[in-house]
């Protein structure tokens, strides 16, 4: 709840995004729109084999055509981890700019650059590569067998060599309390195995990069990226360039869903070509290349939960196996967060997590919206419904008895990032959600007959807001902002934060406007690059508004103090007797003393006076690490209708409640929830990625034709999506705000699973729940094959 | 990127045929390009000459002839959707246009291209089979007309010779009044069929006449299930007979397992979709003549 004395003029107002017009009209310039003088074009040769030694790359024909070629022989022999969000000792480094060995179909083997796209394409086809094809390993279980071909013999962990045994990239065991004791004191114990799929991010924009050599030996880079600073640091490390000679520009991004949290693989390739050729080079990937570039971490989760007859959880045991594909981008972090989301969903007096991440010859996994959370929540929230059923307790009531709320410990990014929950809208979300969906009137599970059957299900969850915590952990998390007041009272905000399309930078402007008492249309967001901004780790972990906004808020407070200081000099009033408020008539901020309202000056007049009197600039730069990671809670209630003849599922209604603390921009916040539903229902019902066992190729061949995401026609009508926000205030957030984006999708698949259980009386444990799987499960259920394991 | 190729914009059918004759097997007909361009990008086809027929007006006409409706091969799917003749007489075709890919593709893809590409899952084929369509093939020397059922040989294989152009599709009239279409894809829009089925029939006092059942995506080529048709033909309509015909249709299909679905699922879906389409077609056949 917003403290009563706080009268907000900017936060909480539905306003247009400042980049909205450019995006809608097509004026916005993405990487693929960038054209520079004398620019060359690059293409990447990618392995057609899932697992092969590279015997020889012959570039002579391509070079004879006038192309510049880059192979493994040309690049610095430095192994790197493309996602430098974990602290250095926890970075698993297993990749080179161009591969020493093909470990998945689509792996970059060599690259060419030529004056035109057509010439580059021709040169690409003139490259000759000799491969020695090795056994393709697509199954993570097979990967761990004795005698299976090793995908790696060793990688680098931090600065140390680490030998890889049985293709296991990383293992993690986390144990708290005595689970044997906990299970022994349980009235009911349920155990099930769940599987979630390796879906493609399906962001609108593929990856691109433009690199220009500078006359001082430096480079300027325009990449598709979520973190310009991390891209710069990695390029400096790989190519031994001093950081002040690398300028990485922030370019608007066409969505990411996490797929650019790492430095995209084409960025150092393009830089390598530029450094070798001295040319300005542009490299943009096709959709087919992109679909072979990254997927969500899949999971096989065996989950066991126990509860007393009063409906209190006693203990939990989770085994998790993830098929990470050909590179370890962040498997250590993935296992950490998987355990963390689970530990933070419900209070477990004793828990044991055993996780394994295994290499296979498939597209590498990377973070995707929710990073481990949709996977963990699907398993936990499905089993919670079954437990409630077994105990004869209403599923919502069962959750209220056990959830981690106010005063509880929340793991924002695995075991090393923990803080105490300070704001909790869960009871309100569940109560209102039940009322809106008509919870008491839902059918008895499995009681229906007939062709069309309806069901109502719910699931709850959250995402963290940032990865900050009181103690330093395994994760880097801080932001910085530079704010200056211009000579007419407008404001420039210089912030390295990336906006993925959700309006994060617009929220930053609103936070600054609120603090400064200046109308938000007088706040500008400056273009950003690494030469002129201070460090921001990356836009991920739903940290943009909470952590990036927190830093901007801190800088704005300092700017405000400077403003008031100068105003005090002009008005002859003590600094702390002055306030700044937006004046609608004047259209700008006005500084005045409430006791002497005639003593007033506009921010514009003051700023001009500061300049003409040569007092100096009104500006501040601040850096902030948030020392909390507040959970942004979400509750889903969905009603589905199943056509039992075809297995098709229609979403009749969806109710989504969010506790994101103070709502910064209601329209955009609703958009986040609707978008979360769209991605979530795709994960639940539609999206899948399968690999041919022999060849390691995608069955969809890397095309949209068979790599499906839901279309508008799969989505419920807007009037059937009911979104609402809890009355909540996060004391540690800027004006009470916390995150929303990833939270918006996390419980969605579980809610669908529970709604389908309600409609059909069948528990689905594997995603996606396709029509075909529904039909097959109904046939199996009729023969009595699926029953919960009751101990 | 596309392979490099020469290109000519044909001004007439005669011009296009002349180009085909001149360039032989290296030439490819470009109409909407929704299949050809994809094939070229994937290097499945690398023609040396593209003969663009998209501006040939004589291919873009729909008219009512004696004993048939003639649809030019260059009519786009959007053109079919907007045609009053099609809406009035061939509601089955209007229906399929609503399930065909997406708006952008419908604006470019042509009926002739959809037939000539001979994909087992081509959306327009099952309805045209159910409407007993024939295909007019032209060469510089003249024309021949073949049944659509004969025209389709196998996956991506037709009777079309290297120097021939699909010129028009003829649908015999009067067309059966009872028409129905069912398609199941991985999603409701912009998806290739997992199974599709089209039914047309007449009735006289409840007795099914001229029953034709076209099936797509469940065999190497789209086909008519004569086994299912024979069960219905000349019999009084009933739920029981529709179920039996649907079962026969399923048994006449030879689906494969692929990324879109397993053979078992497809088999079961043929039964479900055919049964549904037979009921719908029969109900519509009962509607009074306008």
The ipTM is 0.93
CB of A71 within 8 Å of a chain B CB? The answer is no
Average pLDDT, chain A: 96
Domain annotation covers residue B15: yes
For residues A714 and A5, what is the distance between their CA atoms, to the nearest angstrom? 45
CB < 8 Å from B in window 355-374 of A: none
What's the confidence (pLDDT) of residue A705? Answer: 82
Q: Which of B259, B273, B279, B280 to mutate to test the interface with A (most CBs of A within 10 A)?
A: B259
Distance in Å, alpha carbon of B108 to nearest chain A alpha carbon:
17
For residues A89 and A212, what is the distance between their CA atoms, to the nearest angstrom? 33
Q: Which of B40, B100, B197, B265 to mutate to test the interface with A (most CBs of A within 10 A)?
A: B265
Tokens 């996780």 locate to A355
Q: Is the CA virtual torsion A379, A385, A389, A393 positive or negative?
A: positive
What's the confidence (pLDDT) of residue A786? Answer: 47
Q: What is the pLDDT along chain B (290 residues), one digit of tens a residue?
A: 788 899 999 999 999 999 999 999 999 999 999 999 999 988 899 999 999 999 999 999 999 999 999 999 999 999 999 999 999 999 999 999 999 999 999 999 999 999 999 999 999 999 999 999 999 999 999 999 999 999 999 999 999 999 999 999 999 999 999 999 999 998 888 889 999 999 999 999 999 999 999 999 999 999 999 999 999 999 999 999 999 999 999 999 999 999 999 999 999 999 999 999 999 999 999 754 54
Looking up residue B106, the CATH number of its domain turns out to be: 3.30.465.10
What's the confidence (pLDDT) of residue A789? Answer: 40
Q: Which of B147, B139, B8, B141 is nearest to B68 (CA)?
A: B147
Tell me, yes or no, whether B97 and B28 share the same domain: no
What ranges make up the beta strands (E) of A395-478?
Answer: 409-411, 418-420, 452-463
Q: Which of A222, A235, A226, A234 is nearest to A282 (CA)?
A: A222
For residues B273 and A300, what is the distance between their CA atoms, to the nearest angstrom? 35
Q: Which of B115, B214, B216, B108 is nearest to B169 (CA)?
A: B115
DSSP for A146-163? TTPPPS-SEEEETTEEEE
Total residues belonging to chain A: 791
Query: Would you call A708 and B262 a contact, using CB atoms and an 8 Å cutoff?
Result: no
Q: Which secondary structure element, helix H or strand E, spans residue B20, and what is its range? A: helix B13-23
Q: Which of A209, A216, A173 is nearest to A31 (CA)?
A: A209
Q: Classify burial at A563, counting beta carbons within 10 Å of its beta carbon; exposed 0-12, middle 13-18, buried 19 or more.
A: buried
Count H helices, E strands: chain A?
18, 33
By three-state DSSP, how is residue A119 classified?
helix
CB under 8 Å to A371, separation ≥6 — which residues? A258, A297, A333, A334, A337, A540, A541, A742
Listed in sequence order, the DSSP H helices in A496-595 are: 504-516, 549-571
Q: Which of B138, B172, B206 marks a domain boundary?
A: B172
Q: Which of B4, B184, B186, B191 to mutate to test the interface with A (most CBs of A within 10 A)?
A: B186
Q: Which region, left, alpha or beta, applies to residue A106 given φ > 0 means left and ψ of -120 to 50 means alpha?
A: left
- Asked if omega into B174 is within 30° of 0 (cis), the reply is yes
Tell me, yes or no, whether B193 and B272 share the same domain: yes
For residues B155 and B148, what is the distance between their CA atoms, to the nearest angstrom? 14
The architecture of the domain spanning A415-458+632-791 is 2-Layer Sandwich (3.30)
Structure confidence by residue, pLDDT tens digits, A408-438: 999 999 999 999 999 999 999 999 999 999 9
Residue in chain B lying closest to A708 (CA): B186
For residues A148 and A237, what is the distance between their CA atoms, to the nearest angstrom? 34
For residues A12 and B203, what is the distance between their CA atoms, to the nearest angstrom? 64
**Cα-Cα end-to-end distance for chain A:** 44
CATH number 3.30.499.10 is the correct assignment for the domain at A20-27+478-624: no
Q: How far is CA A112 from the centre of its chain?
A: 32
Query: Would you call A118 and B4 a contact, using CB atoms and an 8 Å cutoff?
Result: yes
By three-state DSSP, how is residue A76 classified?
coil
Q: Is the CA virtual torsion B245, B251, B254, B256 positive or negative?
A: positive
DSSP tag of B229: H
Structure confidence by residue, pLDDT tens digits, A476-515: 999 999 999 999 999 999 999 999 999 999 999 999 999 9
Domain annotation covers residue B290: no
Of B258, B260, B268, the CB nearest to A775: B268
- A129 pairs with which residues across the strands? A57
A494 in Cβ contact with A481 (< 8 Å): yes
Neighbours of A694 (CB within 10 A): 9
Neighbours of A454 (CB within 10 A): 16
Longest CA–CA span in chain B (Å) reads 61
Looking up residue B236, the CATH number of its domain turns out to be: 3.30.390.50
Q: Which of A65, A117, A124, A771 to mutate to test the interface with B (most CBs of B within 10 A)?
A: A771
* pLDDT of A636 above 90: yes
DSSP tag of A364: P
What ranges make up the beta strands (E) of B10-142?
Answer: 27-30, 49-52, 62-64, 68-72, 134-138
> Cα separations (Å) of B139 from A464, B13, B63, B103?
68, 9, 22, 32
Residue in chain A lying closest to B275 (CA): A645
Distance in Å, alpha carbon of A259 to nearest chain B alpha carbon:
24
- B135 pairs with which residues across the strands? B146, B169
Query: Would you call A713 and B268 a contact, using CB atoms and an 8 Å cutoff?
Result: no
What's the confidence (pLDDT) of residue B287? Answer: 59
Q: Is the CA virtual torsion B74, B76, B82, B84 positive or negative?
A: positive
Domain annotation covers residue B187: yes
For residues A44 and A273, what is the distance between their CA atoms, to the nearest angstrom? 11
CB under 8 Å to A130, separation ≥6 — which residues? A54, A55, A56, A57, A58
What's the confidence (pLDDT) of residue A777? Answer: 96
Listed in sequence order, the DSSP H helices in A642-708 are: 666-681
B214 in Cβ contact with B130 (< 8 Å): yes
Tell me, yes or no, whether B39 and B118 share the same domain: no
Of A646, A714, A772, the CB nearest to B187: A714
What's the confidence (pLDDT) of residue A788? Answer: 42
Structure confidence by residue, pLDDT tens digits, A99-123: 999 999 999 999 999 999 999 999 9
Query: Would you call A714 and B188 a contact, using CB atoms and an 8 Å cutoff?
Result: yes
* pLDDT of A785 above 80: no
* pLDDT of A137 above 60: yes
> Cα separations (Å) of B70 from A262, B66, B98, B152?
57, 10, 21, 19
Angle at A568 between CA A567 and CA A569, to 5 degrees: 90
Looking up residue B18, the CATH number of its domain turns out to be: 3.30.43.10
Tell me, yes or no, whether B251 and B225 share the same domain: yes
B13 in Cβ contact with B59 (< 8 Å): yes
Q: Classify burial at A390, counting beta carbons within 10 Å of its beta carbon; exposed 0-12, middle 13-18, buried 19 or more.
A: middle
Q: Show residues of chain A in contact with B184, CB under 8 Å.
A: 646, 648, 771
Per-residue tokens: B109: 């893809």
Beta strands A649-659 and A523-525 are unpaired
Q: Which of A289, A412, A284, A305 is nearest to A348 (CA)?
A: A305
Q: Give how many domains chain B has, as a whole number.
A: 3
Query: Would you call B1 and A117 a contact, using CB atoms and an 8 Å cutoff?
Result: yes
Of B187, B192, B262, the CB nearest to A710: B187
> Cα separations (Å) of A313 from A178, A179, A399, A639?
13, 11, 10, 28
- A619 pairs with which residues across the strands? A484
For residues A176 and A199, what is the distance between their CA atoms, to the nearest angstrom? 32
Helix, strand, coil abundance in chain B, percent, nearest 5: 40, 30, 35
Distance in Å, alpha carbon of B284 to nearest chain A alpha carbon:
22
Structure confidence by residue, pLDDT tens digits, A146-195: 999 999 999 999 999 999 999 999 999 999 999 999 999 999 999 999 99
Tell me, yes or no, whether B192 and B261 share the same domain: yes
Distance in Å, alpha carbon of B70 to nearest chain A alpha carbon:
31
DSSP tag of A660: -
Of A690, A706, A772, the CB nearest to B265: A772
For residues A746 and A87, what is the distance between their CA atoms, to the nearest angstrom? 26
Tell me, yes or no, whether B127 and B205 share the same domain: no
What's the confidence (pLDDT) of residue A486? Answer: 98
Tokens 């690494």 locate to A530
Listed in sequence order, the DSSP H helices in A438-546 are: 504-516
CB of A695 within 8 Å of a chain B CB? The answer is no
Tell me, yes or no, whether B124 and B144 share the same domain: yes
CB under 8 Å to A475, separation ≥6 — which residues? A85, A86, A87, A333, A413, A414, A416, A417, A467
Neighbours of A161 (CB within 10 A): 10
Q: Classify burial at A572, counting beta carbons within 10 Å of its beta carbon; exposed 0-12, middle 13-18, buried 19 or more.
A: exposed
Listed in sequence order, the DSSP H helices in A615-692 are: 666-681
Q: Show residues of chain B in contact with A705, CB under 8 Å.
A: 192
Tokens 């979530």 locate to A680
Tell me, yes or no, whether B230 and B260 share the same domain: yes
Task: Look at the pTM and tell me if it is higher than 0.90.
Answer: yes
Q: Which of B128, B149, B172 marks a domain boundary?
A: B172
A602 in Cβ contact with A487 (< 8 Å): no
Beta strands B27-30 and B49-52 are parallel
B71 in Cβ contact with B94 (< 8 Å): no
Of A117, A708, A712, the CB nearest to B186: A708
Distance in Å, alpha carbon of B36 to nearest chain A alpha carbon:
15
CB of A521 within 8 Å of a chain B CB? The answer is no
What's the confidence (pLDDT) of residue A736? Answer: 98
Q: Tell me which residue range forms the domain holding B44.
A: 6-52
The least confident of A18-22, A545-549, B265-269 is A18-22
In chain A, what are the domain boundaries? 20-27+478-624, 415-458+632-791
Residue in chain B lying closest to A689 (CA): B259
Total residues belonging to chain B: 290
């Amino acid at each position: 709840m917003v403290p009563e004395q706080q009268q907000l003029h900017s936060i909480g107002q539905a306003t247009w995004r400042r980049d909205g017009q450019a995006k809608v009209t097509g004026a916005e310039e993405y990487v693929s729109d960038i054209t520079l003088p004398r620019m060359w074009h690059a293409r990447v040769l990618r392995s057609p084999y899932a697992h092969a030694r590279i015997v020889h790359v012959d570039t002579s024909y391509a070079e004879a055509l006038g192309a510049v070629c880059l192979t493994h022989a040309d690049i610095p022999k430095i192994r790197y981890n493309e996602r430098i969000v974990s602290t250095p000792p926890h970075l698993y480094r297993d990749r080179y700019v161009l591969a020493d060995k093909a470990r998945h179909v689509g792996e970059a083997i060599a690259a060419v650059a030529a004056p035109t796209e057509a010439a580059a394409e021709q040169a690409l086809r003139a490259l000759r590569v000799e491969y020695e094809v090795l056994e393709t390993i697509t199954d993570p279980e097979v990967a761990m067998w004795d005698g299976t071909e090793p995908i790696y013999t060793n990688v680098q962990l931090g600065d140390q060599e680490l030998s890889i045994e049985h293709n296991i990239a990383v293992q993690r065991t986390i144990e708290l309390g005595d689970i044997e004791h906990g299970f022994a004191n349980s009235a009911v114990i349920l155990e099930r195995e769940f599987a979630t799929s390796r879906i493609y991010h399906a962001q609108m924009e593929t990856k691109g990069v433009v690199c220009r050599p500078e006359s001082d030996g430096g480079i300027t880079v325009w990449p598709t990226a979520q973190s310009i600073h991390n891209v710069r640091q990695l390029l400096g490390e790989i190519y031994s360039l001093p950081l002040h000679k690398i300028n990485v520009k922030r370019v608007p991004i066409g969505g990411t869903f996490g797929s650019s949290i790492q430095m995209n693989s084409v960025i150092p390739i393009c830089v390598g070509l530029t450094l070798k050729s001295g040319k300005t080079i542009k490299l943009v990937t096709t959709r087919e290349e992109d679909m072979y570039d990254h997927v969500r971490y899949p999971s096989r989760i065996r989950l066991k939960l126990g509860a007393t007859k009063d409906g209190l959880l006693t203990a939990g045991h989770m085994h998790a196996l993830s098929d990470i594909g050909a590179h370890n981008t962040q498997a250590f972090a993935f296992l950490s967060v998987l355990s963390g989301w689970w530990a933070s969903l419900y209070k477990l007096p004793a828990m044991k997590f055993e996780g394994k991440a295994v290499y296979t010859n498939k597209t590498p996994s990377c973070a995707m919206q929710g990073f481990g959370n949709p996977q963990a929540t699907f398993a936990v929230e499905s089993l919670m419904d079954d437990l409630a059923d077994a105990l004869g307790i209403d599923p919502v009531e069962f959750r209220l008895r056990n959830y981690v709320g106010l005063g509880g410990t929340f793991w924002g990014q695995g075991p090393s990032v923990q803080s105490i929950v300070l704001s909790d809208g869960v009871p309100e979300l569940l109560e209102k959600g039940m009322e809106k969906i008509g919870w008491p009137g839902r059918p008895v599970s499995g009681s229906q007959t007939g062709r069309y059957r309806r069901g109502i299900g719910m699931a709850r969850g959250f995402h963290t807001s940032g990865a900050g915590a009181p103690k330093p952990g395994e994760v880097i998390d801080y932001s910085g902002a530079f704010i200056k007041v211009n000579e007419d009272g407008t404001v420039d905000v210089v912030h390295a934060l990336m906006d993925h399309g959700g309006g994060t930078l617009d929220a930053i402007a609103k936070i600054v406007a609120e603090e400064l008492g200046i109308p938000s249309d007088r706040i500008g967001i400056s273009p950003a690059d690494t030469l002129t901004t201070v460090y921001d780790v990356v836009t991920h972990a739903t940290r943009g508004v909470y952590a990036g906004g927190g830093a901007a808020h801190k800088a704005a407070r300092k700017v405000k103090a400077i403003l008031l200081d100068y105003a005090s000099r002009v008005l002859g009033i003590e600094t702390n007797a002055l306030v700044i408020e937006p004046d609608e008539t004047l259209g700008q901020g006005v500084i005045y003393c409430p006791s002497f309202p005639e003593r007033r000056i506009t921010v514009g007049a003051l700023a001009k006076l500061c300049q003409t009197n040569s007092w100096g600039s009104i500006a501040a730069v601040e850096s902030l690490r948030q020392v909390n990671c507040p959970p942004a809670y979400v509750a889903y209630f969905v009603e589905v209708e199943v056509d039992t003849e075809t297995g098709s599922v229609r979403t009749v209604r969806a109710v989504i409640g969010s506790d994101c603390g103070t709502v910064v921009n209601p329209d955009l916040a609703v958009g986040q929830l609707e978008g979360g539903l769209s991605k979530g229902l795709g994960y639940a019902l539609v999206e899948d990625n399968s690999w041919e066992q022999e060849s390691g190729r995608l069955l969809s061949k890397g095309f949209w034709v068979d790599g499906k995401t839901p279309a508008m026609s799969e989505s419920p009508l807007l009037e059937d999506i009911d979104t609402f926000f809890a009355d909540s205030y996060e004391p540690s957030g800027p004006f009470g705000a916390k995150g929303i984006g990833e939270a918006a999708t996390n419980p969605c698949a579980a809610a669908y699973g529970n709604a389908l259980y309600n409609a059909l009386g069948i528990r689905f444990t594997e995603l996606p729940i396709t029509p075909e799987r529904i039909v097959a499960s109904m046939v199996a259920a009729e023969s009595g094959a699926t029953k919960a394991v009751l101990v | 990127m596309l392979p490099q190729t020469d290109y000519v914009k044909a001004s007439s059918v005669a011009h296009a045929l002349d180009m085909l004759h001149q360039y032989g097997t290296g030439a490819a007909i470009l109409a909407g390009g929704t299949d050809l361009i994809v094939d070229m990008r994937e290097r499945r086809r690398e023609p040396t000459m593209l003969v663009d027929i998209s501006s040939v007006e004589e291919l873009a006409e729909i008219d009512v002839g004696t004993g048939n409706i003639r649809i030019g091969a260059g009519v786009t799917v959007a053109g079919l959707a907007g045609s009053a003749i099609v809406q009035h007489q061939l509601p089955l075709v209007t229906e399929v246009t609503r399930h065909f890919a997406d708006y952008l593709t419908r604006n470019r893809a042509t009926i002739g291209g959809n037939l000539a590409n001979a994909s087992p899952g081509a959306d327009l084929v099952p309805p045209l089979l159910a409407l007993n369509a024939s295909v007019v093939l032209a060469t510089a020397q003249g024309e021949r007309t073949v049944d659509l059922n004969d025209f389709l040989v196998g996956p991506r294989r037709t009777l079309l010779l290297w120097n021939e152009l699909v010129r028009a599709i003829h649908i015999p009239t009067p067309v059966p009044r009872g028409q129905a279409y069912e398609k199941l894809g991985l999603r409701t829009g912009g998806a290739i069929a997992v199974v599709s089925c089209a039914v047309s029939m007449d009735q006289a006092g409840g007795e099914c006449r001229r029953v034709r059942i076209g099936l797509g995506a469940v065999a190497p080529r789209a086909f008519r299930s004569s086994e299912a048709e024979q069960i219905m033909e000349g019999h009084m309509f009933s739920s029981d007979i529709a179920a039996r015909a649907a079962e026969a249709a399923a048994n006449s299909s030879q689906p494969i397992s692929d990324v879109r679905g397993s053979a078992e699922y497809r088999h079961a879906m043929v039964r479900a979709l055919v049964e549904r389409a037979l009921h719908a077609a029969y109900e519509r056949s009962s509607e009074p003549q306008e």
